[in-house]
Amino acid sequence: MEQTTRRVAVFGAGYIGLVTGACLAELGHTVAVRDILPERVELLQAGEVPIYEPGLGDMILRNKERLRFTLDAEDAVRGAEVAYVCVDTPPTASGDADLSRVWAVVDALKEASHLLALVVKSTVPVGTGRRIRAALDAAGLGHVGYASNPEFTAEGRAVSDFMNPDRIVIGTSDTATGDLIKGLHAGVDGPAVAMDIASAEMTKLAANAALATKITLANELATVCEATGADIEQVTAAIGMDHRIGQHFLKAGLGYGGSCFPKDSRALHALASNSGYSFQLLRTVIEVNGLQARRHLQRLKDELGGFEGRTVALLGMTFKAGTDDMREAPSTIIAARLLAEGAAVRCWDPMAQPGPGQPWDSTTRHASPLEAMAGADAAVIVTEWPELRDAPWAEVRAAMRTALLLDGRNLLDGAAMAQLGFTYMSVGRPTVRP
Ligand code: UDX
């Protein structure tokens, strides 16, 4: 395909906005990224990246001739041909998505009659695009195309996911806009899938619901494995070899977290509820996920004989490895539950930077897994950091008061840990004792 470079304004310099802006610049487009937070924009203008995302800093630096950051919406959109909306859509009290930031961008574009298209990447309820289309028409911007172009990138691999996606979903009602957005992606290695706007909006929510359900299936099967003596790792490895099931997203653990799955599953559930339909499968997924960390903590409590006056090491605070993101991380529930039960909590994480506030203010932070576990009565692996696989477990064994470990990520080999003297509990596998 012949490459036409475009001038693009990206609204929102969060994970999605920064990755989108940087990748579009990498593809040759000229990009202005606008955010409303002065400190964020200043940092970016100074060449620093406010989030941890592999490859993103280098990409921003490499494309600095074509990529700039601004606080000013008018400045961002001046001369732009395409405007991307990448702002966040947090849940409201009713469980609906808060679209105020999306609408603020649409309002800021009311004078931008030179635009060719407005593209929404933010995750929005089905029907939002239709309303935005109507608002554009009412503002005399009927000639500005509209597209829903949801994002499926995962944190920690967002740059490579953007450049090599499984698919690029482009939802629009006119082919010219579809072709324009497809052209913007020239150089991206992945098929474009054209559809209507509502279906594109639904595809984003449906993809996350499918993945959250798959993880939850593994977690539910793990519980049955625990009750029956089967080993979930062997079971998921074998069912995953069936191409109809696939191996991905079958890893049992302490429940999914992050900025997407919890929020989007609740948003899809709320969307269904608003039309009077109870999405029962999704409701169960949400409930099971909420129970997961609590249930395993209860197993640990039973094994230890109570948490009151005990010291517990919490290993990993981020919602998954390879990110500094702690949004909806199971670690938060675990830390709060341990404190509520009267335990002292000693934490380790190589990247997490929780702001001030509970539960973290009442915990202590340590420089290494060994240091966090020294003197502890029990330890919980919450995040699958490689440092934990490679921790000096023999030294840890000697340093802990009681060698009790709950491996919430099935990271370690139970037999080896028992040989070192640990009582080793994990998810969906038999507990192994020294
Ligand atoms: C996810 C989707 O993958 C992405 O397509 C979407 O755009 C945003 O949400 P992300 O939140 O970055 O991306 O993380 P992901 O790697 O998908 O993991 C989500 C959560 O599920 C994590 O807490 C992870 O630990 C957990 N998980 C994942 C499991 O418990 N088991 C698995 O098998 C996979």
Q: Per the structure block, which two tokens stand in for 89?
A: 């859509």
C-beta neighbour count of 377 within 10 angstroms: 19
Interval 134-152 mean pLDDT: 96
CA 184 – CA 188 distance, rounded (Å) = 9
Q: What is the pLDDT of residue 1?
A: 47
Same domain, 272 and 354: yes
Asked whether residue 163 falls in the same domain as residue 216, the answer is no
Q: Both 162 and 220 in a single domain?
A: no
In angstroms, how far is the first alpha carbon of the chain from the final one?
A: 63
Q: Whose CA is nearest to atom 3 of ligand 1?
A: 154
pTM value surpassing 0.85: yes
Ligand 1 pocket: which residues have CB below 6 Å? 151-155, 208, 211, 215, 249-251, 253, 256-261, 319-320
Residues identified as active-site: 260
Q: How confident is the model over 126-135, as a mean pLDDT?
A: 96
Is residue 2 situated within a structural domain? no
Structure letter (DSSP) for residue 325: -
Residue 147, strand partner residues: 119, 172
Shared domain for 163 and 245, answered yes or no, is: no
Indicate the average pLDDT of the chain.
96
- The pLDDT of residue 96: 82
Distance 256 CA to ligand 1 centre (A): 7
| Distance in angstroms (rounded) separating the CA atoms of residues 90 and 88 | 6
- Residue 65 has a pLDDT of 96
Q: Look at residue 121 and tell me if it is in a domain.
A: yes
Which residue's CA lies nearest to atom 16 of ligand 1? Answer: 154
Q: What per-residue confidence (pLDDT) applies to 253?
A: 98
Show the tokens assigned to 355: 């702001």
Confidence of residue 30 (pLDDT cuts 50, 70, 90): very high
Are 351 and 260 members of one domain?
yes
Q: What is d(CA 117, CA 185) in angstroms, rounded to the nearest whole number? A: 14
122 and 259, same domain (yes or no): no
SS3 191: coil
116 Cα: distance to centroid of ligand 1 (angstroms)? 34
> Span 180-196, mean pLDDT?
97
Give the residue from 195, 215, 246 where a domain finishes.
195
Distance 433 CA to ligand 1 centre (A): 31
What is the rounded CA–CA span in Å between residue 268 and residue 236?
Answer: 27
Question: Per the domain annotation, does 1 fall within a domain?
Answer: no
Listed residue (172, 432, 157) closest to 322, CA to CA: 157
Q: How far is CA 254 from CA 114, 220, 373, 389, in A?
A: 50, 11, 20, 17
Do 16 and 55 belong to one domain? Answer: yes
Q: Report helix, strand or coil for 75.
A: helix
User: Which of 157, 213, 215 for a ligand 1 pocket mutation test, highest count of atoms within 8 Å of Cβ?
Assistant: 215
- 298 found inside a domain: yes
Taking CA atoms only, the protein residue closest to ligand 1 atom 34 is 249
Per-residue pLDDT band at 2 (split at 50, 70, 90): low
**Structural contact between residues 97 and 269, judged by C-beta atoms closer than 8 angstroms:** no
Model confidence at 91, in pLDDT bands (50, 70, 90)?
Answer: confident
Task: Identify whether 203 is part of a domain.
Answer: yes
Q: How far is the CA of 421 from the centre of ligand 1 (A)?
A: 33
Mean pLDDT of 263-279: 93
Which residue's CA lies nearest to atom 22 of ligand 1?
256
In-domain check, residue 172: yes
Among 147, 167, 195, where does a domain finish?
A: 195
Query: Reduced to 3 states, what is the DSSP secondary structure of residue 171?
Result: strand
Q: Read off the CATH number of the domain in which 121 is found.
A: 3.40.50.720
Do the beta carbons of residue 180 and residue 116 sit within 8 Å?
A: yes
Protein residue with its CA nearest to atom 10 in ligand 1: 154
Question: Is the domain of 278 the same as that of 383?
Answer: yes
Listed residues 156, 177, 195: the one ending a domain: 195
Q: Which two tokens stand for residue 318?
A: 């981020």
In the sheet that 404-407 helps form, which strands lie side by side, from edge to edge? 364-365, 344-348, 311-315, 378-381, 404-407, 423-426
Point out the ligand 1 atom lying closest to the alpha carbon of residue 155.
12
Query: Does residue 286 have a pLDDT over 80?
Result: yes
CA 243 to chain centre: 26
Model pLDDT for residues 309-357, shown as the tens digit of each residue: 999 999 999 999 998 999 999 999 999 999 999 999 999 999 999 999 9
State the Cα–Cα distance between residues 229 and 205, nearest whole angstrom.
35
So what's the pLDDT on residue 207? 97
Cα distance between residue 241 and residue 252, in whole Å: 16
Q: Which atom of ligand 1 approaches the CA of 330 most closely?
A: 23
Closest-CA residue, ligand 1 atom 25, reads 320
Identify the domain containing residue 401 by its residue range. Answer: 196-434
Atom nearest to 158 CA in ligand 1: 12
Q: How many domains does the chain have?
A: 2
For the chain, give the percent of residues with pLDDT over 90.
94
- Cβ atoms within 10 A of the Cβ of 161, count? 18
The confidence score (pLDDT) of residue 432 equals 97
Are 186 and 218 in a shared domain? no
Residues 58, 97, single domain; the answer is yes
**For residue 409, is it within any domain?**
yes
- In this predicted structure, the answer to whether residue 237 has a pLDDT above a threshold of 60 is yes
Question: Six-digit token pair at 129?
Answer: 């695009």
Largest Cα–Cα distance of the chain, in whole Å?
A: 74
Which pLDDT score, from 0 to 100, does residue 421 have? 97
Reduced 3-state DSSP string for 341-369: CCCEEEEECCCCCCCCCCCHHHCEECCCH
Does 48 score more than 70 pLDDT?
yes
Q: What share of the chain is helix, strand, coil (3-state, %, to 5)?
A: 40, 15, 45
* 244 and 374 in a common domain: yes
- Counting atoms of ligand 1 from 1, which one is nearest the CA of 254? 30
Are residues 292 and 162 part of one domain?
Answer: no
> Is 328 part of a structural domain of the chain?
yes
Residues 6+ apart with CB under 8 A from 145: 116, 117, 118, 172, 174, 176, 177, 180
How is 388-407 classified by DSSP, letter by letter? HHTS-HHHHHHHSSS-EEEE
Average pLDDT score over residue span 234-254: 98
Distances (CA, A) of 428 to 224, 236, 407: 7, 11, 11
